[in-house]
A and B are shown apart, each in its own frame.
Chain A
C-alpha cells in the first residue's frame, strides 16, 4: 500500500510538540523506515494467527490480597509539582 503519513496528527496523538521543521524531518524518516517495513506485507500470511506474546501461557493471576503501599513522600518528592499531597497540573481546558 502507498504510505501516507499525517505527521502532525501522529505527533498530536503521541503528545509530542514538534516544530514544523521537525515534523518534516520525522515525516521523511518515517517514510524511509516504513518503506522497509512494508516488506512485511510481501509475506503471504493468510490463515496465520498473530503472535502477541512469545510463550503460550495464560492468566498469570495474583490472589486478591492487600500488599504494602508506598509512603506518599517517596514519590511526591519526585514529582514536578504537588499541592496538599496531590499531583498538581496546569488547567485542563
Chain B
C-alpha cells in the first residue's frame, strides 16, 4: 500500500519507531484522506487540526528524546462526539449541546492523551447515541464508506466510517446496545465492547448508565487490543469501574482455537437474520471447526426477550440521565417567555430531536407510578434471566458466536420511519450489554451488494483475552482485506 493512512496502528508504530516517518506524517495522511472522504461521508463533526498538529509535534519531539508512551504514541485517532474533550466542542450530535466546550477531559480521553495518541477530531453519532444508523444526528447523517446510499450503522457511525476509510487509524465509540459492534459490522471494521466497568465512563455523555461502555474501532484485531489497552483500568472517577489489574488482552492473539469450545447462539441464527449473513456466519463457524475448535449450538431462550427489556431499561435510565439538559448551566436555552419551568420545557423541546424525545417519554412513562413494576421492574428481572442464560452458556463453552447485525447496511431513510424495525438492528448485540460481558465484531466478507458482514464473538466478563484470541483466529481464517472504494481511489471532493 502506498498511502500511510492505510497502515494499521501496529505497522504505523513500527515505522514511527524506525524513524522512517513521523507522527506529523501520519496526521497529514489522515487529514488528506479526510479531505477526500468527508464530503461523501460526513464522519466528523469537528476536526481539530491545530490541536492534532500540536500533539503530533509533541509526540515526535518526545520520541526524538527517547520518550515512548506505548503503542498509540503518535497515532491519530478519532473520538465519538459524546466523549468530553477539554476546550473542544462536544455535542453528542444534539442541538441542545451545540457549541458546548467541556471544561474537562473524560478519563478515556485523558488516558489516550497520556498514551501519546493524537486526537484528530470528534465523530458523528445518533443524537445522544440513540439510534442504529447515525441518521438521528442534529448535524446531518453519516454515510457508509462502502456505499454512500447506505447507513454506516450507529450510533457510533462516524467513528466506524472514519476507521474504515482511513481518516483515522483507529477510533472510539460507545456501545449501549451495540453502538460500536453494529456500525463496525456495517462498515467492515473491528469494533469491540469491553466488559462493563473495564473502561471508565467518566466524561462519556451518558445514555444508559448500566449499559454504556466506550470501545474501539480498528482495522485489525491487534490494533483493537492496543486501543483498548490505552483506555482500560480502574478509575477513581467512576464508581462502577473494576478494581484490580488489567488483564493481558492480547496474550493469546496467535494461539489459535485448537481445543476451544465455541457456542453458536441458536436464537440468533434463525428468523430475522438475512440469509447471506447467516450463510457467512455458518461458513466462519465451519472454518473454526476446521481449525480445531469444538463448535456447538447453545440455546439462550431469554435472548428473544432481551430486546424488549433493553427498550425499557435504556429509556428509563436515559430519561434521568438527560434531565440535566435544562438550559440552566450549559447548552441551548429557549427564548420563550415565562417561568423557569417553561424555559426548561421549551429548551428541551427545541434542543432534543424526535428519537431522543421518544426515548425520554418512554422511560419517564416506564418509571412512573403505577407502571414501574409492569415495565421497568419486569425488564430488570428479564435482565437477570439473560445473565443466567450467559452464565449457563459459559459453563459449557469458552465463547459464544453469532452474527453482529441481522442485516448488512440498510439504505438511508429505510428504517427511519419505523422505530421498531430500527430497534431490531441491535437484536444480536443487546444481550451482551444486558449481561455486561465483552463482545467484538470482526469483518468476515461482503454480501452480493458489496456491503460488509460482521461476525460477533462474545465472552464472559473480563474474558477479553479469549475473545481476542478467537477474533484474531477468525481474522486469519477469513483474510478479509477489501477496503471501501472511497479509501483506495482518489475521489474528488464534491
Q: Which of B240, B330, B381, B387 contacts A60 (CB under 8 A)? A: B240
From known contacts A16-B352, A16-B360, A79-B330, infer whether A74 and B103 are also in contact, taking CB-CB under 8 Å: yes
Q: Are A39 and B328 in contact (CB under 8 A)?
A: no
CB contacts (< 8 Å) of A38 on chain B: these are 308
Please tell me if B123 contacts chain A, counting CB pairs below 8 Å. no
> How many residues on chain A are close to B (CB under 8 Å)?
53
A92–B430 CA distance with the chains assembled, in angstroms? 42
A61–B384 CA distance with the chains assembled, in angstroms? 25
Please tell me if A57 contacts chain B, counting CB pairs below 8 Å. yes
Q: Are A54 and B210 in contact (CB under 8 A)?
A: yes
B339 to chain A, nearest CB (A): 6
Q: Whose C-beta in chain B lies nearest to the C-beta of A19?
A: B349
Q: Are B319 and A14 in contact (CB under 8 A)?
A: yes
B367 to chain A, nearest CB (A): 9
B47 to chain A, nearest CB (A): 21
CB contacts (< 8 Å) of A42 on chain B: these are 305
From known contacts A37-B308, A51-B383, A92-B339, infer whether A62 and B236 are also in contact, taking CB-CB under 8 Å: yes
Q: Are B312 and A80 in contact (CB under 8 A)?
A: no
B324-347 interface with A by 8 A CB criterion: 326-333, 336-346
A43–B336 CA distance with the chains assembled, in angstroms? 46
Please tell me if B291 contacts chain A, counting CB pairs below 8 Å. no
A11–B338 CA distance with the chains assembled, in angstroms? 18
Please tell me if B375 contacts chain A, counting CB pairs below 8 Å. yes
CB contacts (< 8 Å) of A43 on chain B: these are 302, 305, 378, 381-382, 385
From known contacts A40-B308, A80-B331, infer whether A89 and B365 are also in contact, taking CB-CB under 8 Å: no
Q: Are A40 and B340 in contact (CB under 8 A)?
A: no
Q: Are B329 and A87 in contact (CB under 8 A)?
A: yes
Q: Are B381 and A49 in contact (CB under 8 A)?
A: yes
Q: Are B358 and A89 in contact (CB under 8 A)?
A: no
Interface residue SS majority, chain B:
helix
B324 to chain A, nearest CB (A): 11
Q: Whose C-beta in chain A lies nearest to the C-beta of B198?
A: A55
Q: Are A15 and B103 in contact (CB under 8 A)?
A: no
Q: Are B434 and A40 in contact (CB under 8 A)?
A: no
Please tell me if B445 contacts chain A, counting CB pairs below 8 Å. no
Q: Which of A18, A36, A41, A60 contacts B378 (CB under 8 A)? A: A41
Q: Are B330 and A75 in contact (CB under 8 A)?
A: yes
CB contacts (< 8 Å) of A41 on chain B: these are 374, 378
Q: Are B197 and A78 in contact (CB under 8 A)?
A: no
A51-93 interface with B by 8 A CB criterion: 51-55, 57, 60-62, 70-71, 74-75, 78-81, 87, 89-93
Please tell me if B155 contacts chain A, counting CB pairs below 8 Å. no
Q: Are A78 and B339 in contact (CB under 8 A)?
A: no
From known contacts A54-B210, A89-B328, infer whether A78 and B305 are also in contact, taking CB-CB under 8 Å: no
Q: Are A40 and B378 in contact (CB under 8 A)?
A: yes
Contact with A along B360-403 (1 / 0, CB 8 A): 11101110100000110111111111010000000000000000
Q: Are B346 and A17 in contact (CB under 8 A)?
A: yes
From known contacts A50-B383, A54-B210, A57-B240, infer whether A16 and B375 are also in contact, taking CB-CB under 8 Å: no
A73–B381 CA distance with the chains assembled, in angstroms? 46
User: B residues near A, CB below 8 A?
Assistant: 100-101, 103-104, 195-197, 210-211, 236, 239-242, 302, 305, 307-309, 311-312, 319, 323, 326-333, 336-346, 348-349, 352, 357-358, 360-362, 364-366, 368, 374-375, 377-385, 387, 419-420, 423, 434-437, 461
User: A residues near B, CB below 8 A?
Assistant: 1, 5, 7, 10-18, 26, 29-30, 32-34, 36-43, 45, 48-55, 57, 60-62, 70-71, 74-75, 78-81, 87, 89-93
Not counting A48-B385, A75-B329, a sample of 17 additional A-B residue pairs whose C-beta atoms are within 8 angstroms of each other reads A12-B345, A13-B368, A15-B348, A16-B357, A17-B349, A30-B365, A33-B419, A37-B379, A40-B309, A40-B378, A48-B384, A54-B436, A60-B240, A70-B103, A79-B328, A92-B339, A92-B341
What are 11 A-B contacts defined by CB distance under 8 Å?
A13-B368, A16-B357, A17-B349, A29-B419, A37-B379, A40-B309, A40-B378, A70-B103, A78-B330, A87-B328, A92-B339
